[in-house]
Amino acid sequence: ATPFQLIVPMSGEELARREGLPRGRLQILVLHGRQSNANLSNFQISGLKTAFGKDTDFDFLEGDVVWKYRPGVDLHDADDMSVSLSKGKDFKVWFMHTTDCKRDRPDLFKQQDPGVCVSYEGVDDAVDALLRRVTDSPVDAVVGLFEGCIVVH
């Protein structure tokens, strides 16, 4: 036996045939990362969409919290390419966080410091939104990008 399993994307029609499912289209739900939205995520997964083909539906779930640049917390403001790809949509996050660190350093370094306490606000709401979505509509797979992975986990 090999220590890994090779997973090859297949069309929704092929999966339905193989599994005896009544519907033929694969339903994939995508959760964006921090400082992102559905339009930007759609661009980021363009290779994945090509690999799965036209028999797959991709749906996007967005966080409820509008992201605004915060100096000292965010490493940078939204770049021109991200703004363009977003096509006017607000950037979103799934939840907010604070730290107890008083040192003047990028927030990313604070979060990675085991001596710093990080508190998260809104995580339960984000998870509840995901659970409602997968309960209310058929979903075959969930793809989490960056911060979206935390919500899925």
Model confidence over 97-139: pLDDT tens digits? Answer: 999 999 988 888 999 999 999 999 999 999 999 999 999 988 9
3-class DSSP state of 61: strand
pTM: 0.79
Q: b or e along 109-137 (b: 16 or more beta carbons within 10 Å of the residue's beta carbon)?
A: ebeeeeeeeeeeeeeeebbebbeeeeeee
| Cα separation, 130 vs 47, whole angstroms | 24
| Cα separation, 17 vs 12, whole angstroms | 9
3-class DSSP state of 36: strand
Pairing of strands 65-66, 96-99: unpaired
Which pair of structure tokens corresponds to residue 31?
Answer: 């959760």
For residue range 28-80, list pLDDT tens digits in order: 999 999 999 999 999 999 999 999 998 999 999 999 999 998 887 787 888 88
